[in-house]
Homo-oligomer: A and B are copies of this chain.
Amino acid sequence: MRPSGRTPDQMRQVTIETNFSKHAEGSCLIKFGDTHVLCTASVEDSTPPWLRNSGKGWITAEYGMLPRATHSRSSREAARGKQSGRTQEIQRLIGRSLRAVADMSGFGERQIKIDCDVLQADGGTRTASITGGFVTLHLAFQHMKKLGMIEDIPLTDHVAAISCGIFEGTPVLDLDYPEDSNAQADSNFVLTGDLGVVEIQGTAEEKPFSRDEFNALLDLAEKGVSELVELQKQAISGA
Chain A residues near B (Cβ < 8 Å): 21-24, 27, 34, 38, 40, 42, 44, 62, 64, 66-73, 76-79, 81-83, 85-89, 91-92, 96, 100, 113, 115, 117, 119-120, 122, 157, 187, 191-192, 195-204, 207-211, 213-214, 218
Q: Specify the chain B residue showing the minimal Cβ separation from A84.
A: B88
What's the least CB distance linking A50 to chain B, in Å?
13
A113 to chain B, nearest CB (A): 6
The answer, among B88, B198, B211, for a CB contact under 8 Å with A218, is B211
List residues of chain B with CB within 8 A of the CB of A27: 68
Question: Considering only CB atoms, which chain B residue lies closest to A26 in the complex?
Answer: B68
A38-B23 in contact (CB<8A): no
A89 touches B85 (CB 8 A): yes
Q: Which residues of B contact A198 (CB under 8 A)?
A: 203-204, 208
B210 touches A119 (CB 8 A): no
State how many angstroms separate the Cβ of A170 from the closest Cβ of chain B: 17
When C-beta atoms are compared, the residue in chain B nearest to A113 turns out to be: B73
Q: Say whether A203 contacts B96, CB under 8 Å.
A: yes
Does the CB pair B78–A87 fall under 8 Å? yes
Chain B CB within 10 A, most for which of A86, A88, A91: A88
- B21 lies within 8 A of A38 (CB): no
Summarize A's interface: helix, strand, loop or mixed. mixed
- Flag if A197 contacts B209 (CB, 8 Å): yes
Bound CA span A67–B44, Å: 13
Identify which of A23, A68, A81, A202 gathers the most chain B CB atoms within 10 Å of its CB: A68
Q: Shortest Cβ distance from A69 into chain B, in angstroms?
A: 7
| Contact call A115/B196, Cβ cutoff below 8 A | no
A187 to B82, CA, bound (A): 29
> Which of B21, B85, B89, B211 sits near A68, CB closer than 8 Å?
B21
Query: Given the complex, which residues of B lie within 8 Å of A81, measured CB to CB?
Result: 81-82
How far is A81 from B85 in the complex, measured between Cα atoms in Å? 14
B44, A204: Cβ atoms closer than 8 Å: no
Q: A67-B115, A100-B204, A191-B208 are in contact. List 19 more A-B contacts (CB 8 A).
A: A21-B119, A21-B120, A38-B66, A40-B68, A42-B67, A42-B73, A62-B67, A64-B66, A66-B115, A78-B83, A82-B82, A85-B92, A196-B210, A197-B208, A197-B209, A198-B208, A199-B202, A201-B202, A211-B218
